[in-house]
Amino acid sequence: MSGAAVAGPAAARWRELQQGRGIPPEILAAAPDSPWRHNPARFAAPEQPDDTPSRQAAVALLGAAGGAGNPAAAGGAGNPAPAGGTVLDVGCGGGAASLAVYEHARHITGLDIAEGMLAEFERAATARGVPHRTVLGSWPEAAGPAGPADVVLCHHVGHNTVELGPFAAALGAAARRGVVYEMYTEHPMAWMDPLWVRFHDLHRPRPATLDDALAVLAEVGITPQVQRWERPAYDQPIEDICRRLCVSADRADEVRAALAELPPRRRTVATLTWAGTAD
């Protein structure tokens, strides 16, 4: 599956909205640190994962004991998938998505563009004793080296891509049973838009939303099951907010004052599942 742009109007709108989230080069040039840098330790897989709708969907596709039949599975509606299976975690980070179901997986492949994230995934998978391998690369360009899997997981990567249609289609093409795709219902950095106006006089377009994403998926023939839910509140370190905002840490008090004026942040997410088409 190539990364070629999709010509439909929904894809064009998604592309426009995503490109509007970029940081102007003059702000990037003056930034004291890269806003794109991430600490892999912050993405470590928890020892006791929350039993979220996304985890439940993955367990069902893997056919774990007690798992209900999932209509997205290869067996069809009402038919439980075979017990166990292989997993491909696209944009795996530290493995939070796939290692949440490691006890039901025969093998996990973690794919990420960052070597540091893959090292964290490798550490966590080894500690749990799960057979695994890593693939360094971006999606869908690295779909070939990654190979197919029974279940493909992809959490919180879609808002980092401009060409969502080919990205999502390649996920389905790599899955024998189904895809579990988790995303925020609007761009996860949209809550910072008032801060960009305050500190840089940068006015962003409206953020891409779940509905925008579903329209793109429809253009490539994907009609997923959708479940909306809330993640617990999370206090992001002020140093990280300063870095993402391209301001120096010595302005932390200013940033705290600005944060106090914002409404409470909601972390509304959605779990999307659809059938795979891999042989």
Q: How high is the pLDDT of residue 252?
A: 97
Question: 2 in a domain, yes or no?
Answer: no
Question: 3 in a domain, yes or no?
Answer: no
Q: Which two tokens stand for residue 90?
A: 């696209």
Instruction: Give the 3-state secondary structure of residue 3.
Output: coil
Work out whether strand 175-184 and strand 149-155 pair parallel, antiparallel, or are unpaired.
parallel
The residue among 58 and 265 whose pLDDT is bigger is 58
Q: Could you tell me the residue range of the domain that residue 184 belongs to?
A: 9-275
How confident is residue 37, by pLDDT bands cut at 50, 70 and 90? confident
Q: How high is the pLDDT of residue 3?
A: 41
Q: Supply the mean pLDDT for the chain.
A: 90
The residue among 52 and 76 whose pLDDT is bigger is 52
Given a cut of 90, is residue 44 above it in pLDDT?
no
How confident is residue 42, by pLDDT bands cut at 50, 70 and 90? confident
Given a cut of 50, is residue 67 above it in pLDDT?
no
Question: 4 in a domain, yes or no?
Answer: no
pLDDT in tens, 85-112: 999 999 999 999 999 999 999 999 999 9
Q: Find the range with the poorest average confidence among 79-93, 104-118, 137-151, 218-232.
A: 79-93
Q: How many domains does the chain have?
A: 1
Q: How far apart are CA 117 and CA 245, in angstroms?
A: 22
How confident is residue 82, by pLDDT bands cut at 50, 70 and 90? low
Q: How high is the pLDDT of residue 46?
A: 85
Check which CATH number belongs to the domain holding 62 and give it.
Answer: 3.40.50.150
How confident is residue 66, by pLDDT bands cut at 50, 70 and 90? very low
Question: 49 in a domain, yes or no?
Answer: yes
Given a cut of 90, is residue 5 above it in pLDDT?
no
What is the 3-state composition of the chain as percent helix, strand, coil, each rounded to the nearest 5?
Answer: 40, 20, 45
pLDDT in tens, 229-239: 999 887 889 99
- Pair 62, 87: CB distance under 8 Å: yes
